[in-house]
Chains A and B, each alone.
Chain A
Amino acid sequence: GESVGLHLPTLSVQEGDNSIINCAYSNSASDYFIWYKQESGKGPQFIIDIRSNMDKRQGQRVTVLLNKTVKHLSLQIAATQPGDSAVYFCAENISLRGYSTLTFGKGTMLLVSP
């Protein structure tokens, strides 16, 4: 079937390696950032988030780093597993009058070889 990952930047790693997926965001007013994972044919799933008053946040096997100076976000996955193979999207949130609007990046496909 049609692949959501067609023409996306792709990162290929071996099982057990650490993976780093990068994202540049556009709006310096963004106050909240999220990484989503999307497997083929499914909806995106929340991985980890970070607020703009932080520069690092850790979860289980994942770490998000935020560099506001250069408007850069990265997702680090430790000990990458074949089940991590998916498309990863970063999203930036801007709060306007209490409401939130998420803008998504184009995504990066992660391919993990056993």
Chain B
Amino acid sequence: DGGITQSPKYLFRKEGQNVTLSCEQNLNHDAMYWYRQDPGQGLRLIYYSQIVNDFQKGDIAEGYSVSREKKESFPLTVTSAQKNPTAFYLCASSIPLGGTGELFFGEGSRLTVL
């Protein structure tokens, strides 16, 4: 079935460590997004990519990095520079050009820093 797969679903990290969250989609969508979700704050955009080999910072990009080497994949690295990384991370994809703007979401990855 077509969809977006995020892994791992749960991840624990020690302070000072980098960690990479995986996001893969087989929807043939051009655009992919990473959002962070904290209690009571909705979804905040970290990074987005409208096309392979190109990506843009969102509202809260500091302490994060991404790559978009393949259309299907948009991994997010949470670096040690991110001061408060414990959160629920959501990956999404969409058809940007001529599309409605609807985002299709993965099931999320919950990162906890110990």
Binding site for B on A (CB under 8 A): 1-8, 32, 34, 36, 41-46, 49, 89, 91, 93, 95, 98-107
Mark out the residues of chain B between 91 and 114 whose CB falls within 8 Å of any chain A CB in the assembled complex. Answer: 92, 94, 96-108, 110
The size bracket of the interface on B is 20 to 34
- Closest Cβ neighbor of A30 among chain B residues: B101
The verdict on B31 contacting chain A, using a C-beta distance below 8 Å, is yes
**Among listed B14-22, B33-41, B61-69, B70-78, interface-contacting one:** B33-41
Given contacts A42-B107, A98-B96, A99-B97, contact A6 B102 (CB under 8 A): no
- With A98-B96, A99-B50, A99-B97 known to touch, is A105 a contact of B42 (CB < 8 Å)? yes
Interface residues of B (CB under 8 A from A): 4, 6, 31, 35, 37, 39-43, 45, 48, 50, 88, 90, 92, 94, 96-108, 110
